[in-house]
Chains A and B, each alone.
Chain A
């Protein structure tokens, strides 16, 4: 169990063994310490031993309740032991839950030089820019291969629908290819969801119309008001991109197209209050997610900031949080999501209710939230398959000619599991949302013992802030849990 306190001084604990939170107390800790011995004393002995420290009725309560709580722990038998996966395991898993998205990296070229881009010099383990473009033969093979995997998978998961994303560099630099792919799919296959992640600078009216006609989900990288956006998102010549993007998205917003999203990013110099104000404006697309500029293994991005920047940033975050919770009703009923919804609105609910499972962990992938490679398929310009657009190119999982390579996938999982050397004793493992990108460097996978030094402290802090919010706004927190709304009927 890891203990934490909220601002009001209430105690709670995270019970990693069952993946649940419980209210906690000093007496509870006292009793727990006694009964977690190899040779635990009897109830009477515990009560007697603690009689000077806590009221007897509290000790009795804790003793009985902890024993009751222990009964939800599922017994191990019937459950497969952790083991290295074999081809059958992987095949079955992917046929059921894999192939969720085919992502075509249609070019490695980009018309921008954003300062925080993972392909920039700050991130030494990523691939860097090139002038390479994918050709139609490669794309077609990837598409055919993807649909044949889905076809095989149908009897295992009849509900899955094809999703194809276009990614870059800047995908619109290879717009001709995208057009060809979409036409090819529409002529030869069935209803597919298309996704385009773009910096928006080449999204002229004609292209925008075409994307809307084909029902694309359009995700635009937009960081906030002009000054903030232009601080990082610039052309190679240093000019800011804000004005061009705004001009380009205007017709889409005017057409009241619903499937356009922005994907803002912030760092320690972002004025998140101004950013929030900006995304509340009527003609700005709803926010899909917000993320902080990544600080992966090997990144030097954060070296540019001072301690003052960091402190100032966190005080802005606090200020934003206060503002958000003072206006809860406004946020609850407003039309679209903004960065604060992601940052403050859904975060505590996620912390409380996300990744709950009292079941034993997956025997072939016991730790972290890493997917089974093949869950998503990222195809680079040369037709090589990678497990995700965000990992280095040194861990390929197949290519357009051979398809997915199960041996490579198995090897990758085994190596990854081996590198997760701290996870077995990690007290927040069931809440772990790390995956490959957190650990992969050029050609190796770092050990979790190196990467996760302070993870328990970090998680404790975020548990504590989530519970502080939950104590104050329990209904708000529980509304984030719509599937269970009926439980509270008539209350």
Chain B
């Protein structure tokens, strides 16, 4: 008798343990040592005993089935995994899915958690930040053209961010109006205190607003998400609201709370078929993404300002792709197989990762500090 997982169920092995990822149900099953060995044997077509309770259980929850002969189960894929590197078939266009446009870098506020003060936040890129930088900002015309270029590259979503966009409100509205209709999704990031109902009206239906705050007010709208800054020790299983994302302050490596979704078992809950398969090759966050900074620098993400692929003041965005593709692609493909700790972890295709933070904490582009799992031993600390 043989037992095989279904096409939609991937067994991923780490150095020590394994896990099953059900890509249709979106569920992760972390396995213990015995289970890992057993299922690994099954997936390698080694004969087993039909009376095995674990396997019967797996059949019951529809993860796999028994077979009389050795069979080959092709795993669920969403697209063909072949690289066409036939020299006669040239490269396809770069697949850019997301771009941050940091259209402003000034702010009169002095938020204690701003990137300006070097504070590390788990979702720093999703909120506003100002940076030490006196370069002249890009003008409106260049932003319009950048938007046209992104559209021509089939970019799917853009995130317009600052600084305080209220300080450059006319520019913001003009850029936003130019962008409307060209992307599947537009986000705009502002601090709660910079918002007014008049500004909200401007944005209505054009963009989803991400509101940076410590204490969200009660405004409800389909076009609004709160990004709530939380100190790590503050977080006591808050009730998760649909339109709220928590942005944790990361003090230092050794002060990580076990409660952090970024670092604990909690983050391992869901798995999405498209994301999982993409993470086999691409970094969960940097993959297919770019940032255009206020001064025109093109970087992998708003927080990784020390890696610059070029500046769109000097040349078109497409030339940056042309000239720096190898480096851009290195960042895009820096998936967790390439991260020193994660490479041996069974959760490497379902886990999230903030490279900007990890690099700052470890000083290494492939370092990992924010994780309470030890894949060598298979234990959570």
Contacts and interface: CB of A to CB of B under 8 A. Distances in A.
Interface of A: 8-10, 20-23, 57, 61, 64-65, 68-69, 71-72, 96-97, 100-101, 154-161, 163, 193, 195, 217, 350, 352-359, 467, 470-471, 474, 477, 481-484, 486-487, 489-491
A20 B87 CA distance: 28
B91 A483 contact: no
Interface in B329-345: 337, 343-344
Contacts of B322: 154, 158-159
Nearest to A28: B65
A163 B91 CA distance: 11
B79 A61 contact: no
B88 interface: yes
A121 to B, nearest CB: 29
A467 B71 CA distance: 9
Contacts, number: 147
Contact of B81 (A9, A156, A484, A489): A484
Given A20-B74, A470-B72, A474-B45, A486 B280 contact: yes
Of the candidates B8, B83, B93, B316, the one having the most CB atoms from chain A within 10 angstroms of its own CB is B93
Contacts of B70: 8, 471
A30 to B, nearest CB: 15
A161 B73 CA distance: 38
Interface in B52-108: 59, 62, 65, 67, 69-74, 76-83, 87-94
A9 B69 contact: yes
B40 interface: yes
B72 A474 contact: yes
Given A96-B93, A160-B91, A490-B13, A356 B24 contact: no
B7 interface: yes
Contact of A487 (B6, B88, B280, B319): B280
Contacts of A489: 13, 337, 343
Contacts of A358: 77-79
A489 B25 CA distance: 24
B16 to A, nearest CB: 9
Contact of A359 (B8, B62, B78, B316): B78
A452 to B, nearest CB: 22
A20 B79 CA distance: 10
Contacts of A97: 92-93
Contacts of B24: 68-69, 71-72
6 contacts: A21-B7, A65-B65, A350-B82, A356-B79, A490-B13, A491-B13
A217 B90 CA distance: 14
A61 B59 contact: yes
A132 to B, nearest CB: 26
Given A20-B77, A352-B74, 15 more contacts: A8-B70, A21-B74, A57-B59, A65-B62, A68-B62, A97-B93, A101-B88, A159-B322, A193-B87, A217-B87, A471-B69, A471-B72, A477-B72, A484-B81, A490-B14
